[in-house]
Structure 1
Amino acid sequence: MSKVVKIVALVAIAAAIVVFAAPIAGAIAGLGAGIASSAAIAAVTSAVIGVGLSIGLSAVSSLFRKAPSLSNSLADRLSASINPTAPRKIVFGKTAAGNDLRFYEFYGKKKDRYAQVIALASHRLNAVNSFYTEEELTWSNGSLLLHGDGITSIRAVTEGKAGQGFALASGSYWNASATFTGCAYLAIDWKFDSKAWPSGIPSKLTTLVEGCPVYDPRLDSTNGGSGPHRITDQSTWEYRRDGIELGRNPALCLLTYVIGWKINGKAMWGMGIPSNRINFDNFRTYANVCEERVLLQTGATTQRYYCDGIFSTSDSHESVISAVTAAMGSCKFTDVGGLYGMVGGYDDTLGPKQNFNADDLVGGTGAPAPYSWVPAGPSRETYNIARGRFADPSQQFQLADWGAIETDPLPDGIDRTLSLDFGCVSSAEQCQRIAKQFLMREAKTPGFFSATFGPRAFAVQVGSLVSLSLPAQGWNRKLFRVQEQKEVHDMLYQMTLREESSEVYAWDREEKPLPSTIRPPGYDASMTVSVEGLSATSTAYTGVGG
């Protein structure tokens, strides 16, 4: 802790009491006759100021660095499963959907037919694009391409609706009244044929879809935008508009999850937050940020952030939020003043700032104001290498390595690796660019400043940019971002600030080649290997008889 500088005033702070006389006097009214003494005032005020000064390194990861968890649904969807209690699936963006077997029936005179209903998502899908058996593209856009001798039909339903049911198999069980209301599903009719399926009907089935339509406040003329979207009418929500895939925009995916999804008027998934608790201006800003074009190594451009992921109703809100915000770099979901929004994730360091100086710290004339300054965390919690996994579209959305990003060596010369798995990112290049933000924040902005601020701190909130001039540290408008804020008394705010720098967001053109895919080919019994490179030699041995 040699790098930790702590200055705590233990003397009277009469000057501060002049400014904050009313609230503090009320707090110490119980001290009786001693209330007028500067020592008593100092003692109580120090107690107020001390709230949160020991936050220290426990707050380091609460705003910016986070290790997003991976939903179990990423693995569950790789093979069809018969689980009556499987949780409902939520699909955002362009990815592989759920694979939950909800109905099956053996039928036919010889019981040589087999029907399945596979649940893809517990909401409307924009499209069901293709279906794979094992590694083979079998069905696409309504047409059966392979295995006509083993599959009678495949029917894709993007949203089950009353009055639109159909009979399947014998029709005795799944009939026209079975609509799977509000859910997307596949109905498959298989043939048991040893020639078509020598190893039996495959269990590895993959369905590629365009996921949930999302609500976009930019397109709602009743909510500060311009267009037909309505927050209370899911039928107006869209996946694609004017060539832009709104359903792959992480900010809009998160907003849709915050609002929640209903079937027949009943909440099915999401947080169900009322509209008066959502900062729609904030989500509009982030939706625009996600759609900005950035450069690639090739000189082409791509959208800054995409979201392609799958979750289930068994995943916690925290897990879903963490995964989606991780697709927007060092972004964090916040609840500030009762309004949900986001901070971080893009370079806004040239934007407006609240300027603070030593006079804003609660302290006394002639005595240093109390504060805590931690220039850097423990060495074991700093990293210069990042690597991890993502759901790779080229490998049927199995988890694969997205590569590695390195920054300058650490001061102690020991390389430390940060593991970052991105369940909602389907581009290795985007994973690398986001990982660069995490590492650059570690390298360029490791410092935390904690103190109790006066009334002017009312003008800022979590995520706000501030500058701080503090002669004792040699700072002249040093740039910070508000990490935590708590009103500890009337107009007295305990705040933790973290260093900020535009260098954190300078990550364009960071892509590196992917690691080699180590994947043996499938076994082929007819394959032979020709013998090559042999040579013949002879050696004479003399026997015992000469």
Structure 2
Amino acid sequence: MGKIVKIVAGVAIAAAAIALAAPTGGLSIAGALSLTGIAASVVGAIGAAVFATVATLALNALIPPPGTKRDPENYAQSLADSQIIIGKCRAMSLKMAFFHPVGKTHRYFVWVVAGHRVKGLTRWYLNDEVVSVNGAGMVTSGKYAGHAWLWFERGDHDAVANSTFVAECGGKWTTDHRGREVAKVYAKFEMTDEVVQAGRPVITCEVEGSDEIYDPRTNATGYSNNAILAFYWWMALPREEGGFGCYPDEIDWDWVATEANVCDEQVPLKAGGSEPRYTLDGFMQTGADPSSVRGILVENMAGRFTYSGGLMLARPGYWVPVSSTISEDDITDAVAYDLLTPGDQRVTEISASWNDPDKLYVADELPLRSIESPDIAQGSLDLPFVKSRTRGQRIQKIRLLQSGAGITLSLPLNINGLGLAPMDTVMLGGNRYPRLSNTAFTVTNWSISPDFGVPVSVREENEEMYAWSIADEIDRVAVSVIDRAEMISEPASTADTAGSAGEVSDGTTSYTPAQIRQLEDRIAALEP
């Protein structure tokens, strides 16, 4: 899976590391200790391992988390992490191989799209132009038509080497070069004058990602962009393959099934039809910080995440009815509350960016949303796994209203507080706090104190935060286009003007025919 690409791409640097570590580190240490033979080899190997490990850690520290501002591109590195793709997106690719056979006018490239098997390709791009490709792999549209060939291999477990590359690369690509479980692009270019002048294009593709996502509702495995199913597929993926690395007993599949049903609920669209409530469509690099990636995935379904009772629990954004009422008898001390959430969490207007499939997946901004407030506090959302304008607006609204809800409480409860769990929706019973008795809260945190009390933190919650209708949908902002002014072909009538023969007057200034021609020439020079 993901680790395969890192191993393949890292062969060159690993060899260089051994060559570097042996003379500078391994042999010098061995000489000082009078080690020979196997001992010296072991020291050299340890030096190489340390070098490679440090290089990997340094690289991983630089791997950015998923984001909307990362435009699809081709890149080349000697030691690089591969990609994980879920749902449909336009993905980047890592150069794996390049061949220039002697005496041939063709160039051959292999690009890695993902370090795992994907469902398949849906669209080709050369630079930012969608191109068509026939059954033989030849590009049939655009400036590279007839001089470029593209093949996509989805990373099958029994993949075979590309026959064209085996036949035409002079033995550099053999039948053993199969790249199993690695989704990749084979590209071939004929170096005609037109192709040389145009240059090598950026080769990207629209891909439907992993088709190994488990659905506990049907007990089937296949392609899905259902937000919760895709999330838990990544959570269960081993850490060395780019996933979070959950243990099997940390996932409650009954919980997953329930939340997956919520994600599949249909939401009406103003333009007609409907769409699933939440999907995840995007890519990430395997070396990105797992906790950061997890947080981004949760944010892209307006959700919450907690680790409770030994389980990894994620819930997409929707209204959860009140499940319990906290009795006055369960409150052991005064309730502490703040009418306002912390300043860094409270916003009155929020912007959001997403990747628009209709605009080549380039980052686009959603219309600003705000709530009435005497003060302005701005916030922003980055939604790299959202590919629907309406879904992005729904998430934007939920986060804005959650921030504006305001009330957070610290409840000192007795041992009965252990019956609550994070993300439960609760209410306060009794008459001690009448101003809070009609307010619902979601449990955000709880712990056990030394005196066996249960301090619980809750935040205001209400059903309207998640309500949505087509009236809430903001249309794409229209761009006003000003028509080009038409030029006047002849001077205005001279019937009511004064002046000498051949002159034209605007009532204050007279113009001779020569001056008029000069003005016309100046005006003509201003035309595009």
With the length of structure 1 as denominator, give the TM-score of the two structures: 0.72
Q: 5 Å matches for 1:7-406?
A: 71=65, 78-109=72-103, 111-140=104-133, 142=135, 144-146=139-141, 149=145, 151-161=147-157, 164-167=160-163, 168=165, 169-202=168-201, 204-219=202-217, 226-227=218-219, 229=220, 237-239=221-223, 247-260=224-237, 267-329=240-302, 331-343=303-315, 345-349=317-321, 351=322, 353-362=323-332, 369-377=333-341, 381-406=345-370
Structure 1 distance, partners of 2:132, 2:514, is: 68
Structure 2 distance, partners of 1:87, 1:161, is: 20
Worse-superposed segment, 492-501 or 70-79: 70-79
Structure 2 distance, partners of 1:495, 1:104, is: 59
Deviation at 1:532, TM superposition (A): 3.8
Structure 1 distance, partners of 2:477, 2:407, is: 34
Contact 1:77 1:206 in 2 (8 A): no
> Number of matched residues?
425
Deviation at 1:187, TM superposition (A): 0.4
Contact 1:127 1:158 in 2 (8 A): yes
> Residues 344 and 394 from structure 1, CA distance in 2 versus in 1: closer, same or farther, beyond 3 angstroms?
closer
> Residues 441 and 512 from structure 1, CA distance in 2 versus in 1: closer, same or farther, beyond 3 angstroms?
same
- Residue 448, structure 1, aligned to residue 412, structure 2: no
Structure 1 distance, partners of 2:514, 2:357, is: 63
Worse-superposed segment, 271-280 or 135-144: 135-144
Which of 405, 422, 427 lines up with 1:467 in the alignment?
427
Residue matched to 1:495: 456
Structure 2 distance, partners of 1:424, 1:517, is: 27
Deviation at 1:491, TM superposition (A): 4.2
Structure 2 distance, partners of 1:92, 1:200, is: 31
Deviation at 1:299, TM superposition (A): 4.3
- Residue 483, structure 1, aligned to residue 444, structure 2: yes
> Residues 206 and 472 from structure 1, CA distance in 2 versus in 1: closer, same or farther, beyond 3 angstroms?
same
Worse-superposed segment, 174-183 or 140-149: 140-149
Show CA shifts across 1:378-432 (max 9, x none): 567532322121111112111111222233x11xx23333211101001111111
Contact 1:150 1:192 in 2 (8 A): no
Structure 2 distance, partners of 1:138, 1:282, is: 43
Identity among equivalent positions (%) equals 20
Structure 2 distance, partners of 1:500, 1:186, is: 48
Show CA shifts across 1:126-181 (max 9, x none): 01122111232223584533256553422110015456123514142222111122
Contact 1:92 1:253 in 2 (8 A): yes
Deviation at 1:260, TM superposition (A): 0.2
Contact 1:151 1:188 in 2 (8 A): no
SS at match of 1:442: helix
Structure 2 distance, partners of 1:90, 1:455, is: 44
Contact 2:66 2:296 in 1 (8 A): no
Contact 1:436 1:507 in 2 (8 A): no
Structure 1 distance, partners of 2:403, 2:312, is: 26
Contact 1:165 1:176 in 2 (8 A): yes
Structure 1 distance, partners of 2:353, 2:384, is: 8
Structure 2 distance, partners of 1:361, 1:530, is: 75
Deviation at 1:75, TM superposition (A): 5.4
Structure 2 distance, partners of 1:419, 1:540, is: 62
> Residues 299 and 392 from structure 1, CA distance in 2 versus in 1: closer, same or farther, beyond 3 angstroms?
closer
Structure 2 distance, partners of 1:454, 1:282, is: 28
> Residues 381 and 306 from structure 1, CA distance in 2 versus in 1: closer, same or farther, beyond 3 angstroms?
closer
- Residue 431, structure 1, aligned to residue 385, structure 2: no
Structure 2 distance, partners of 1:518, 1:140, is: 37
SS at match of 1:270: coil
Structure 2 distance, partners of 1:540, 1:192, is: 59
SS at match of 2:390: helix
Any stretches of 5+ residues in structure 2 without a counterpart?
1-62, 492-503, 505-510, 516-528
Superposition CA RMSD, Å: 2.9
Structure 2 distance, partners of 1:162, 1:295, is: 42
Contact 1:373 1:448 in 2 (8 A): yes
Structure 2 distance, partners of 1:530, 1:172, is: 64
Deviation at 1:79, TM superposition (A): 2.1
Worse-superposed segment, 472-481 or 386-395: 472-481
Deviation at 1:282, TM superposition (A): 1.6
Deviation at 1:483, TM superposition (A): 0.6
Opposite residue 424 of structure 2, the aligned amino acid is S
Show CA shifts across 1:187-232 (max 9, x none): 0111111224523122x3220011012433424xxxxxx44x3xxx
Contact 1:469 1:478 in 2 (8 A): no
Contact 1:137 1:145 in 2 (8 A): no
Worse-superposed segment, 494-503 or 465-474: 465-474
SS at match of 2:193: coil
Looking at CA atoms only, which structure, 1 or 2, has the larger radius of gyration?
A: 2
Any stretches of 5+ residues in structure 1 without a counterpart?
1-68, 220-225, 230-236, 240-246, 363-368, 520-528
Show CA shifts across 1:485-522 (max 9, x none): 11123642111011111111112322212235799xxx
Contact 1:403 1:428 in 2 (8 A): no
Structure 2 distance, partners of 1:530, 1:503, is: 50
Structure 2 distance, partners of 1:470, 1:281, is: 34
> Residues 272 and 377 from structure 1, CA distance in 2 versus in 1: closer, same or farther, beyond 3 angstroms?
closer
Structure 2 distance, partners of 1:441, 1:101, is: 44
Deviation at 1:449, TM superposition (A): 0.7
